Chains A and B, each alone.
Chain A
Amino acid sequence: MMKVISASNLSLGWLNALENLLDCGGKATHLHILIDDVHEENIEIRYLLDKFSEYKGVYPVSTVANTIFPAALYYPHNPKLTGNKARDHLYQMYRQGDEVRQRCPANRHGTYFNRMIDWPTGRKTVNQLERIISRLKSNRTRNNPLSSNYELSVGGSEECLVQDDTATADIQIRLPDTDTSIMGFPCLSHISLVLDKGRLSMTALYRNQHFIRKAYGNYLGLSRLLKFICQEAGCETGELVCIASHADAEFNLGKLSIVKLVKDCREVAQRSQMVPTLT
Chain B
Amino acid sequence: MSKDSSFRLAKIPEQASIDRLLIEAVAQMRVVETSEIEKEFSENGGDLEMDTQEAVPVIANVESVLGCTLPGIENLKPGQPVSIRALSELIERSLPEVSRKVTSR
A and B form one complex: yes
Q: Which residues of A lie under 8 Å from residue B56 when comparing CB positions?
A: 97, 100-101
Per the CB 8 Å criterion, the residue count for chain A at the interface is 22
Per the bound structure, the CA–CA distance linking A63 and B56 in Å amounts to 13
Residues of A with Cβ closer than 8 Å to B? 62-63, 66, 70-73, 75, 78, 80-81, 89, 93-94, 96-101, 103-104
Per the bound structure, the CA–CA distance linking A98 and B56 in Å amounts to 8
Q: Are A72 and B31 in contact (CB under 8 A)?
A: no
Contact partner of B31 among A62, A80, A98, A101, CB < 8 A?
A80
Per the CB 8 Å criterion, the residue count for chain B at the interface is 18
- A-B pair number, CB within 8 angstroms: 48
Separation in Å of the B90 CB from the closest CB of chain A?
13
In the complex, which residue of chain A has the Cβ closest to the Cβ of B63? A100
With A72-B54, A73-B54 as contacts: A97 and B30 at CB distance below 8 Å: no
Q: Are A75 and B30 in contact (CB under 8 A)?
A: yes
B5 within 8 A of A: no
Per the bound structure, the CA–CA distance linking A98 and B72 in Å amounts to 12
Separation in Å of the B24 CB from the closest CB of chain A?
14
Q: Are A97 and B31 in contact (CB under 8 A)?
A: no
Q: Are A104 and B30 in contact (CB under 8 A)?
A: no
With A63-B52, A70-B53, A99-B1 as contacts: A75 and B31 at CB distance below 8 Å: yes
0 or 1 for each of B1-30: is its CB under 8 Å from A? (1 = yes) = 100000000000000000000000000011
Per the bound structure, the CA–CA distance linking A65 and B21 in Å amounts to 29
Which of A66, A80, A96 lies at the interface centre, i.e. has the most chain B CB atoms within 10 A of its CB?
Answer: A96
Q: Are B51 and A97 in contact (CB under 8 A)?
A: no
B60 within 8 A of A: yes
Separation in Å of the B10 CB from the closest CB of chain A?
24
Per the bound structure, the CA–CA distance linking A100 and B82 in Å amounts to 15
